């Protein structure tokens, strides 16, 4: 994807902007705890992260919403085993996008287990889409963090597009 500085970045699992980026920004302190580091980062985020206003554009559609996070996935698992996108398929040439609209801190705590069993995508405040490209424009004073494959990339507006058949997967 391209950030607002027009710098290209590639990912092969999951990228996101918002709460997940905030969590990644905190995880480094707790890396020695393994998967638990993400939960600790999320708890820290519960007390300090604020939802943001965004415009998400794809397939001729524009969604204006207050959001907790926008996730763009190619594969099923991320962040210590969480399942944050509905139906990712690395072979279909499409991103699986989950838009977590204005979820509250209570919603997050109440649905913590659903982040790991994949049911979070069924929440009434989560929208799911399949797209080959999209742009995310932030309409808030404070721009949220962006992460890709668990690496913190900064803040700002982003454009994402898929590169079909960029690499192959092999399994037994």
User: Which domain covers residue 55, as residue numbers?
Assistant: 2-141
Q: For the chain, how many structural domains are there in total?
A: 1
Residue 170 lies in a domain: no
Residue 114 lies in a domain: yes
Residue 47 lies in a domain: yes
Residue 146 lies in a domain: no
Task: Please tell me the pTM assigned to this model.
Answer: 0.88
- How many H-runs (helices) and E-runs (strands) does the chain carry? 4, 10
Residue 151 lies in a domain: no
170 — pLDDT class (breaks 50, 70, 90): low
Enter the tokens of residue 133: 């490209």
pLDDT digits 0-9 by tens, 30-42: 889 887 887 788 8
Residue 106 lies in a domain: yes
At residue 128, the pLDDT reads: 94
At residue 51, the pLDDT reads: 95
Enter the tokens of residue 106: 């209570």
Residue 41 lies in a domain: yes
- Rounded CA-CA distance 34/31 in Å is 6
Out of 15-24, 80-89, 157-166, least confident range? 80-89
The stretch 53-78 carries a mean pLDDT of 93
- Would the pLDDT of 136 be above 90? yes
Nearest to 29 by CA among 17, 21, 37: 37
Enter the tokens of residue 32: 């020695």
Residue 167 lies in a domain: no
- Would the pLDDT of 131 be above 80? yes
At residue 101, the pLDDT reads: 94
| Mean pLDDT, the chain, integer | 88
- Would the pLDDT of 79 be above 80? no
CATH code of 19's domain: 2.60.200.40
C-alpha dist (Å) from residue 78 to 7, 20, 44, 134: 24, 11, 19, 21
Angle at 59 between CA 57 and CA 62, to 5 degrees: 30
- Would the pLDDT of 171 be above 70? no
- At residue 116, φ and ψ (nearest 5 deg) are -95, -25
- Would the pLDDT of 130 be above 80? yes
Can you spell out the DSSP letters for 69-121?
A: EEEEESSS-BTTTB--SSS--TTSS-EEEEEEES--HHHHHHTHHHHHHSGGG
């Amino acid at each position: 994807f391209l950030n607002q500085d027009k710098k290209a970045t590639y990912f092969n699992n999951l990228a996101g902007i918002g709460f997940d980026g905030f969590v990644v920004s905190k995880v480094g302190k707790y890396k020695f705890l393994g998967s638990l580091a993400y939960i600790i980062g999320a708890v820290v985020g519960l007390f300090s992260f604020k939802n943001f206003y965004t415009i998400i554009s794809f397939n001729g559609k524009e969604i204006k919403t207050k959001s907790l996070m926008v996730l763009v996935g190619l594969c099923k698992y991320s962040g210590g085993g969480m399942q944050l996108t509905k139906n990712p398929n690395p072979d279909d040439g499409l991103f699986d996008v989950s838009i977590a609209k204005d979820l509250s801190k209570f919603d997050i705590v109440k649905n913590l287990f659903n982040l790991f069993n994949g049911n979070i995508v069924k929440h009434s405040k989560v929208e799911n889409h399949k797209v080959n490209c999209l742009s995310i424009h932030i309409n808030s004073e404070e721009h949220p963090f962006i992460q890709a494959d668990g690496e913190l990339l900064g803040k700002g507006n982003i454009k994402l597009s898929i590169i079909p058949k960029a690499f192959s997967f092999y399994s037994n």
